Each structure stands twice: as C-alpha cells, then as structure tokens.
Chain A
Amino acid sequence: MEKAKKRRFGIIATIILAATLILGLLWATATAEKNAKHQDTLSRVEKQGKIIWGVKADTKLFGLMNTKTATPVGFDVDIAKALTVQISKQTGVPMSAEYVPVSSASKIQLLKNTNIDGTVSTMTITPERAKVVDYTDSYFNAGQSILVKKGSEIHSIQDMNDPKYTVLVVVGTTAAKETKKFAPKANVVALQDYASAMQALKAGQGQAMSTDNAILYGFANENPDYQIVGGNFTNGPYGIAFDHDQKPMVDQANRALATIKENGIYNQLIEKWFSQVPGLDWRDLEV
C-alpha cells in the first residue's frame, strides 16, 4: 500500500513537472515572437548609437578572426564599416560599428532575437530566406563552385554524381541545399564551419568541398595543393540582411550602398581584398 502511494505520487509529480515545462516553453515561444515584432531596427540603432553587425569569423577574405586583435577582418567587415559611416551621415546620428561573429546556421536566429542589428556575412539572397529576413540590393556577385585536390579525377560537379563520392558543405549554407540538385547521387556531409570542412577535405573525408566561389578562392589561396574546378554552377548574389519588415533600415542601407559604390569606396575595398587572389579576375568584381 505504502509503495503504491509513493509510486502514484511519483507519477503525478512527473506529470506536473512535464506540464510546467511544456507550458513554460509555449509561453516563452509566444513572448519571443511578440518581442520579435514591432521593433524598428533603424530607431533602435539610432538610440543605441551603434550598429551591431553579424559577420563571419571563419571565412578568408570576407570575415576571418584576426587572433592577435580578436576582431574579424575582411571584405564583409569593411563593407559593414563603410555602411555604418554612410548611414551616420544620412541620418545625422553618429553611430559606431560593432562586430559579432556569426555562423551560417545561427545568423538568421540572431537577427530575429535582435542580438545583431544586421548581417553582412556572405549571405546569398534566396526566395525562402527573403520570406524571413529583409535583404538590401546585392553587394557582391557569387556562385557555387567546387574545390578539389590537384590531380583529382573530378573536373566538375557532374563528375561527383556517384554514391562513392562525398561532397563536403557547411550547415546552413545555400550549397548544403543546392548540391543535391546538381549531383543527386553523391553523399553530402555538412560540417559546422568552413575551417572544419576544409580539414575534412584534407583528411580525405570527401573528394570535394562546395560553397561560393569567392570563399573557395580564399581556401585555394591558403592551400596551394587544392584548386577550383568546373566554374560556377549557380548564381547567388550576396545581400545584407536585416530582420523582417524593416523598410526604413533597408532603405538607409540601400542608399548607403549606392553611395559607396558611386564614390569609389566599394571599388577600393574590392581591390584591397581581391587583387591578391590568384586565378580571380578582381576587375570583374568592380562596379
């Protein structure tokens, strides 16, 4: 009798605990959604006097952590800096730029949670993503390509269309979704970031790594044993993203982007980051 009582108590306690947890989670979801709405990014950044940009920290040329100064450096970071200066001029509110490293998988959630105000992070504009975030005009033209070891029998993505081959990609990138369309029979393994994908390629865990050509150029530059083959097989322009329904902020950013393209700052940045990359015709990238 005593034992049955104890057991009943245990069961009831478990149910109550589980119910509390579930209700708590539902409440948290609702609150999180409410917080995400009706927040004007432009007025927020003006009030806080700084724009917090999400940038990559693992991508050579675009956003790579400088371990000595503990700040990310790259084309994306410089674009974010130039935009901040320009937006400050347009709005008449002095603002500084702050950088937060984001991954391909985390950036959209961080925007939604307002941990970051905007993101310049090698982010391809896609129709699906445009439903959840707002994009500016494209600031860089990229396309998906593959990186293989020199002397490899693979010369294009079509050569990979065989179950014995593995393509390495990064979680949350467009390449993770697109690769299957071009090589449906190949295995696709997604790793956490570009650095581990590159290490996995070197360890022979896959025959090719696939992502945007501009990112691959950075790796080819660092690893002379590897080369880009087959050219681009997709077209994916990069955009700067803000949270959904942030028209005032997007308008400001578009105006700023047009201005830096016009006054030559954009071309200076292109030259600064891409003129040293072998095999890339950086003059093509200028506007």
Chain B
Amino acid sequence: MGLLQNYFSTFLQGFGYTLLSSVVALVGSMLLGTLFAIMQVLPTRWMQIVGNIYVQIFRNIPLLIITLFLYLAVAKVVKMNGFTAGTIALTLYTSAFIAETVRAGILSVDSGQMEGARANGLKFGQAMRYIVLPQAFRVALPSLGNQFINLVKNSSILAFVGGLDLMYQGNMVAANSFDTFTAYIIVGIFYLVLTLPLSYYMQYLEQHLKAKA
C-alpha cells in the first residue's frame, strides 16, 4: 500500500477527471437519450427515422472507435483534447442505449394514458412531460441504473487518448513503479468507490418509487 501513499495525488487527480467526465456524460447522455427516445415515438415519420438512425449508429459502433475518431480525425477540424473527445464519445455512445431504455419505458405506458391526457386538453408535449415520462422513467429505472454504472466504467476509454482519468493515471503509476499488480488493484478499488454508491442509490430509488406508487 506504499504505492497508494507515494502516488496518492496522482490517483486522486485521475479520480477527479473520471468523476467529472462521468457526471458530464451522465447528464448529457440522459438529455440526448430522452430526446431521441421521444423522437422515436413521435407520430412524425421522418423524426422517427432520424431518431432510429442515431440510435443504431452509436449503439452499434465500439466506443473506442468513436473516441479515436473524435480524437484523431474530428480534432483536425474542431480542436479538442483527449478529455473532451473521450467525454463526448462517452455521451454519444451511452445516449443511444439510454434512448432505447427510455423508449421501452414510454412504450410500456398504456396508450390510454396519452389519449386520456390529450382528451383532457393537454398538448402532446405537456402530456409527454407530465403524464407519460414520469411513468416511463419509473419502469426504465433499473436498466437506467445499469447504463449509469456502465458509463462510469466505460469512462476508462479516456486512458486511450491521454484523458488524464483514473485508468490513465493507473497506467502511469504502473509504468513508473513497475508494480502493475498493485496499481491496477488500487484503480479497481477507486472505480468501486464510484460505482458501488451509485448502484446502491439506484436500488434505493427503485424501492422508494415502488413504495410511492
């Protein structure tokens, strides 16, 4: 554990970048994902098609390729460093999965809910916002929790593009100290520190909402 003491600030810096990237990507992918989920259930045909193409593209390309494409190709046009490229890639990739999860949630809400809301004079947007989405999220919650945990773990992609995250710093510590074994165990524990509370919180939220319903 001397390794942890010697390189504590390095690990902590990596932890900070991983946390920042995860939070940004979580909020971003939640917004984008919900947007594309709604697009896919709209009555307008072309919106459905656009939403579907987006989801299929980002869901079916490996995250590493999206990241390297942003870092090595897109960066020639729009300047971005490894951290930015990795976080954007993470957001795009995760949003496709979240879109599918939320869409399934929306479809699980009985169509009578939407019809009833519209019959009572709510506009489509209002009915979506106040009646359908809250029920959809409740259904989608367990799989959303999975997506969030995957997101935190997938943020290790930043290490491949010099994104200064936990995995990147872990590689550096392993290379400098020649103690690969301990370095990666410490990195693993730091990831647990992020993902365990997240997964317990998701469980709590599930129970809480179930009790409320």
Residues of A whose CB lies within 8 Å of any CB of B are: 25, 29, 32, 104-106, 108-109, 128-129, 132, 168, 171-172, 176-177, 189-192, 196, 199-200, 202-205
Q: Which of A32, A105, A204 contacts B175 (CB 8 A)?
A: A105
Q: A189-B162, A192-B160 are in contact. Are A205 and B75 (CB under 8 A)?
A: yes
Point out the residues of chain B lying under 8 angstroms from A189, CB to CB: 81-82, 162
How far is the CB of A244 from the nearest CB of chain B, in Å? Answer: 10
Point out the residues of chain B lying under 8 angstroms from A29, CB to CB: 181-182
- Give the nearest-CB partner of A108 in chain B: B178
A200 contacts B72, C-beta separation under 8 Å? yes
Point out the residues of chain A lying under 8 angstroms from B182, CB to CB: 29
Q: Is B176 an interface residue (CB 8 A)?
A: yes
Q: Is B76 an interface residue (CB 8 A)?
A: yes
Point out the residues of chain A lying under 8 angstroms from B71, CB to CB: 200, 203, 205
Point out the residues of chain A lying under 8 angstroms from B181, CB to CB: 29, 32, 109
**B 170-205 binary contact with A (CB < 8 Å = 1; else 0):** 011011101011100100000000000000000000
Point out the residues of chain B lying under 8 angstroms from A205, CB to CB: 71-72, 75, 81-82, 162
Name 18 A/B residue pairs within 8 A (Cβ), A-sorted: A29-B181, A104-B175, A108-B178, A109-B174, A129-B178, A132-B178, A168-B162, A171-B171, A172-B174, A189-B162, A191-B161, A192-B160, A199-B72, A200-B71, A203-B75, A203-B76, A204-B76, A205-B75
Point out the residues of chain B lying under 8 angstroms from A190, CB to CB: 162, 168, 171-172
10 nearest A-B residue pairs (beta carbon)? A189-B162, A172-B175, A109-B180, A203-B72, A132-B178, A203-B75, A105-B175, A199-B72, A171-B171, A108-B178
Residues of B whose CB lies within 8 Å of any CB of A are: 68, 71-73, 75-76, 79, 81-82, 159-162, 168, 171-172, 174-176, 178, 180-182, 185
- Give the nearest-CB partner of B203 in chain A: A10
A203 contacts B73, C-beta separation under 8 Å? yes
How far is B180's CA from A240's CA once the two chains are assembled, in angstroms? Answer: 21
How far is the CB of B157 from the nearest CB of chain A, in Å? Answer: 11
Point out the residues of chain B lying under 8 angstroms from A196, CB to CB: 68, 72, 160
A176 contacts B172, C-beta separation under 8 Å? yes
New A-B pairs, 8, CB < 8 Å, besides A105-B171, A132-B178, A202-B72: A25-B185, A168-B162, A171-B171, A177-B176, A189-B82, A190-B162, A203-B76, A205-B162
How far is B176's CA from A200's CA once the two chains are assembled, in angstroms? Answer: 23
B175 contacts A171, C-beta separation under 8 Å? yes
How far is B76's CA from A106's CA once the two chains are assembled, in angstroms? Answer: 31
B79 contacts A204, C-beta separation under 8 Å? yes
How far is B168's CA from A168's CA once the two chains are assembled, in angstroms? Answer: 14
How far is the CB of A34 from the nearest CB of chain B, in Å? Answer: 13
